[in-house]
Amino acid sequence: MQTESLLKEPVNLIITGVGGQGNILVSEIVAQTGCRQKYNVVVGESYGLSQRGGAVSSHARLFRHQEYGPIIPLGKADIIFGFEPLEAVRQAVDYGHKNSCLIINSHPVYPIGVRRGKNKVPSLELLFKKLREIVAEVLIIPATKLAGQLGEAMVQNVGMVGALAGSGCLPFRADSFIEVIKKVVPPKARALNEKAFYLGLEEVQKIKSLK
Amino acid sequence: MERVGNLVGWQDIVREEPGKRVLLNGNEAMARGALEAGVHFVSAYPGSPSSEVTDVLAQVSENFNFYVEWSVNEIVALEGAAGASFAGLRALCTMKADGLNVAYDFLTSMNLGGCRGGLVLVVADDPFGHSSLKEYDSRFLAAAAWVPALEPSTVQEARDMVKWAFYLSEQIKGPVMVRSVTRVSHSRGIITLGDIEQTVREADFRPTRQFHTFTRFHQEVRERLKQAEELFAVSPFNFSFGAEKADLTIFTCGPGWLYAKEALTSLQLEDQVKIVRPGTPFPLPKQFILSHLNGAKKVVFIEETRPFLEEKVLAFYALHSENLGQIKFYGKATGHVSGIRGPECGEMNTDIVREVLIGLTGRPYHVPIVSLTKEEKKSLQASLPPRDYMLCPGCPHRASFWVVKSALALEGNNGIVTGDIGCYSMGAMETGFNLFNTLHCMGAGAGIAGGLSKLGAYGFKQPVVTMVGDSTFYHAVIPALINGRWNKANYLCIVLDNGVTAMTGHQPHPGSGKNAVGEEAEVVSIEEIAKSLGFMVKVSDPFRYNQAIQDVLEFIRMPGLKVLIFRQPCALAASREQKRRKVVVRQELCRGDACGCMRFCTAVWGCPANVWDKEREAAAIDPAICVGCGVCIDLCPAGAIVWEGDE
């Protein structure tokens, strides 16, 4: 297998969203893909109570030489990969830097305080505009909508992996991801997940071609 | 690939050949360590972040022919493991930090008499409380129990240390603890698989052999600790890194080792600072520590939760300060090493280490954050609504909480609700209508309820309800119920029976009808236990909430201790098995804000599947996450929420 080269060391990626969105599966896919390309990988995950509708984030780090710990330092996330826009912004403010690339599912999951009318939600359009001013790239993917077209909103996460693959942020080819997806997804869900992956990939290519 | 608990890639622990590099999380790695040591007996009670060690061992036990059980609680788990060790077998017992308290009475006793086959305890602490109600440092308990403890920094070391701990335990003939933390247990990293030892052993317990607890054995335990210290000193787990001789030295345990290394790199201090990494915090090898204190002028401590290493090193220094000269210490006890929650709260990270080093060296460092001024950053953060935990869509606990809240409101006597530990601890949060008045540890709710109900002579007249989970019922509630029966307590115990230990990854329990390895098992019936204790017992369905409210009211009004079982399967488990009927909103019946219900379904009931359609300004159901429990159908005052097909 030809090894694809890493742009910098370490590459730091934050996978963020809300408990139950399939974050762990995605951190597994990203980490396994890196591992198969002969990278060292460390991922810090959170689950347990945090899985119950709370904010979750996994920190994934890819490297070749020095070993790194499972938490990315402030301002050091190269890629912020958000399944939920509010959580993506929250992470970007603390962990992003001016060269970060943000890949965000546009579909919000409102916190309980918003649902109860205690808290207000900011305009997502304005948030995205602000993000575009402060980081190098912001890719907004309608991943939940795309997954909905496949009849299963849950696969937004793998659709987002497709977007990550197509963004060029990580030096891994689409088929490297697909190999791993085939391995970690149950056989009966493989076709659906592959479709979701390519929908995400095409969507990000469309966005990039418009720029 | 079959999902096990929270894990998707677990099969790599047995699929690949020795020598292969595989990606595992810390718990899978510790499971592999036990496999490589040829473990014979595994027992555990689940608890984040420890559960997956035994989750995966249960999956592979058949291939390797060893015994695995989920036990009813941690002390029973440890007692079982000790039995295997007494018979000369290798035994592993895993638990979260809180579980060590439950097992502690036996641990401190058994340690006096010692054991035979390697007996290893994996205890996973949860600094920051990612999935726990408290942060806890079990190293202090290891020290108080005189049990040697190892502390891995990485996933690879987690495997190495568990494997080696079996060897150490057999050398010293006593139990050995491996202290993990969330950032080891729930981190994924690459490890190189080792050979799996084939330790075919016969269980051998001769009538002449004795394992007793007597005070006179204390000296033997001291000797055992000395022997452990000697073996620790020659183990590969204590090392140093960076400058050979340095004024500034970092002493670190656990994941702090990698944070310290990254902080040095980012400040280009590798050739000026030394890192000392003892992996064996108790008993801490004295000569190793003293040799690295020698020549140091400033010492920084980086460790998880409490200043354990710091206190031990300070004690060594106190005895040898004459030879060591003046050293200044910077740690949690001194208040210098602190995260945002303060010195002994939260978890370590590279940023904390770097800040301390900048303070001591004056090195410049530019945090490469996004280009926002402090004020802009603050206002952007303030615009983001906070995200509290939420019960899952269709969670039966939400219905149970609503039933109890409604019943107590109807009763009108300021009823008190004592809570307990599980997913349903969210009864103390917004998503559980802030129902719980108390929340502590497993079994506490029933004991507190019993105490409150005996305060009549002091003027306490409120009804008392305790809500306990099914797994918690077996684990810790039964003694409190017996106590209540005996002492004529007067409260209602509601058992939230969802069929599994849900919070920790859906492990089976005595009521599940199957055991850890998936075999059919006798159902230990909650209602039969409760009936046999002489209580009035009823099984109720929280999804039929009008009836359930009547049941609660009826039971509250009865004198004495009563047991009501709210039975509905965990929504997460149920949704994996089958899709239920679809729920929809009849748009012509939902009048939105004109209804006067104050958006009951979204704003009050608050199931994540009940959403507000902004465009239509009316209620809607999110079909992607609705599991079809149908409770909101009964709750909607306008009757606008219906089963699909009933429109």
Residue B27's H or E segment, with its range, is: helix B26-36
Whether B6 has a pLDDT exceeding 80, the answer reads no
As assigned by CATH, the class of the B396-576 domain is alpha beta
Whether A3 has a pLDDT exceeding 90, the answer reads no
Whole-number mean pLDDT of chain B?
94
> Looking at residues B608-621, what average pLDDT do you find?
91
- d(CA B150, CA B164) in angstroms, rounded, equals 10
CB B93: neighbour CB atoms within 10 A?
31
Cβ contact B331:B348 at 8 Å: no
Q: How would you classify the pairing of strands A55-63 and A11-18?
A: antiparallel
Split at pLDDT 50, 70, 90, the class of A136 is: very high
Cβ contact A142:A203 at 8 Å: yes
Handedness of CA B356, B359, B362, B367 (dihedral sign): positive
In this complex, which of B188, B380, B383 lies closest to A43 when CB atoms are compared? B188
Split at pLDDT 50, 70, 90, the class of B372 is: confident
Whether A2 has a pLDDT exceeding 50, the answer reads no
Would you call A40 and B190 a contact, using CB atoms and an 8 Å cutoff?
A: yes
pLDDT, tens digit, 9 for 90 and up, residues B121-143? 999 999 999 889 999 899 999 99
In A, which residues are within 8 Å of B266 by CB distance? Answer: 73
For an interface test with B, the pick among A52, A79, A137 (most B C-beta atoms closer than 10 Å) comes out as A52
Smallest CA–CA distance, residue B167 to chain A, in Å, is 28
Percent of chain B residues topping a pLDDT of 70: 98
In A, which residues are within 8 Å of B354 by CB distance? Answer: 73
Percent of chain A residues topping a pLDDT of 90: 70
Whole-number mean pLDDT of chain A?
91
Q: How many CA atoms lie within 13 A of B164 on its CB side?
A: 21
Please report the DSSP string for B224-244 in residue order: HHHHHHHHHHTSTTEEEEE-S
Would you call A114 and B385 a contact, using CB atoms and an 8 Å cutoff?
A: yes
Q: State how far the alpha carbon of B611 is from the alpha carbons of B422, B619, B641, in Å.
A: 26, 6, 12
pLDDT, tens digit, 9 for 90 and up, residues B392-415? 989 999 999 999 999 999 999 999
In this complex, which of B9, B349, B369 lies closest to A28 when CB atoms are compared? B9
In A, which residues are within 8 Å of B356 by CB distance? Answer: none
In this complex, which of A53, A97, A109 lies closest to B389 when CB atoms are compared? A53
Smallest CA–CA distance, residue B336 to chain A, in Å, is 19
Would you call A44 and B130 a contact, using CB atoms and an 8 Å cutoff?
A: no
Give the residue on A whose Cα is nearest the Cα of B377: A93
Split at pLDDT 50, 70, 90, the class of B576 is: low
Pick the CATH number of B579-643 from 3.30.70.20, 1.10.150.20, 3.30.70.120, 3.40.228.10: 3.30.70.20
Give the residue on B whose Cα is nearest the Cα of A68: B258
pLDDT, tens digit, 9 for 90 and up, residues B342-370? 999 999 999 999 999 999 999 988 877 77
Cβ contact A89:A127 at 8 Å: yes
Query: For position A65, what pLDDT does the model report?
Result: 86
In B, which residues are within 8 Å of A98 by CB distance? Answer: 368, 370-371
Residue A145's H or E segment, with its range, is: helix A143-149
The residues with which A58 forms a beta bridge, in sequence order, are A15
Question: Lowest mean pLDDT: which of A11-20, B38-47, B144-153, B520-529?
Answer: A11-20
Query: For position A47, what pLDDT does the model report?
Result: 65
Whether B3 has a pLDDT exceeding 60, the answer reads no
Give the residue on A whose Cα is nearest the Cα of B571: A52
Count, in order, helices (H) and strands (E) of chain B.
22, 22
Would you call B384 and A186 a contact, using CB atoms and an 8 Å cutoff?
A: no
In this complex, which of A47, A73, A144 lies closest to B186 when CB atoms are compared? A47
Would you call B190 and A35 a contact, using CB atoms and an 8 Å cutoff?
A: yes
Count, in order, helices (H) and strands (E) of chain A.
8, 6
> Looking at residues A142-169, what average pLDDT do you find?
93
Smallest CA–CA distance, residue B189 to chain A, in Å, is 5
Query: For position A22, what pLDDT does the model report?
Result: 86
**Helix, strand, coil percentages in chain A from 3-state DSSP, rounded to 5:** 45, 20, 30
Whether A54 has a pLDDT exceeding 90, the answer reads no
Whether A211 has a pLDDT exceeding 90, the answer reads no
Q: Which fold has domain B12-206+213-233?
A: Rossmann fold (3.40.50)
* pTM, to two decimals: 0.95
Report all structural domains of chain A as residue ranges with CATH numbers, in order of start: 11-210 (3.40.920.10)
- d(CA B641, CA B621) in angstroms, rounded, equals 9
In A, which residues are within 8 Å of B625 by CB distance? Answer: 153
In this complex, which of A45, A76, A122 lies closest to B384 when CB atoms are compared? A122
Query: For position B626, what pLDDT does the model report?
Result: 86
For an interface test with B, the pick among A18, A32, A45, A89 (most B C-beta atoms closer than 10 Å) comes out as A45
Query: For position A96, what pLDDT does the model report?
Result: 94
Give the residue on A whose Cα is nearest the Cα of B47: A48
- d(CA A26, CA A32) in angstroms, rounded, equals 10
Would you call B259 and A66 a contact, using CB atoms and an 8 Å cutoff?
A: no
Task: Tell me yes or no: is domain B238-361 CATH 3.40.1210.10.
Answer: no
pLDDT, tens digit, 9 for 90 and up, residues B23-69? 999 999 999 999 999 999 999 999 999 999 999 999 999 889 999 99
In B, which residues are within 8 Å of A135 by CB distance? Answer: 370
Would you call B183 and A70 a contact, using CB atoms and an 8 Å cutoff?
A: yes
In this complex, which of B255, B265, B612 lies closest to A70 when CB atoms are compared? B255
Whether B569 has a pLDDT exceeding 50, the answer reads yes
In B, which residues are within 8 Å of A41 by CB distance? Answer: 23, 188-190
Would you call B426 and A71 a contact, using CB atoms and an 8 Å cutoff?
A: no
> Which one is predicted more confidently, B634 or B276?
B276
Query: For position B370, what pLDDT does the model report?
Result: 76
Domain ranges of chain B: 12-206+213-233, 238-361, 396-576, 579-643
* Joined tokens for residue B285: 């090898």
Tell me, yes or no, if the two domains B12-206+213-233 and B238-361 fold the same way: yes
pLDDT, tens digit, 9 for 90 and up, residues B249-287? 999 999 999 999 999 999 999 999 999 999 999 999 999
In this complex, which of A67, A70, A117 lies closest to B603 when CB atoms are compared? A117
Query: For position B579, what pLDDT does the model report?
Result: 62
In this complex, which of A42, A120, A121 lies closest to B189 when CB atoms are compared? A42
Give the residue on B whose Cα is nearest the Cα of A84: B387
Question: Lowest mean pLDDT: which of B226-235, B295-304, B379-388, B619-628?
Answer: B619-628
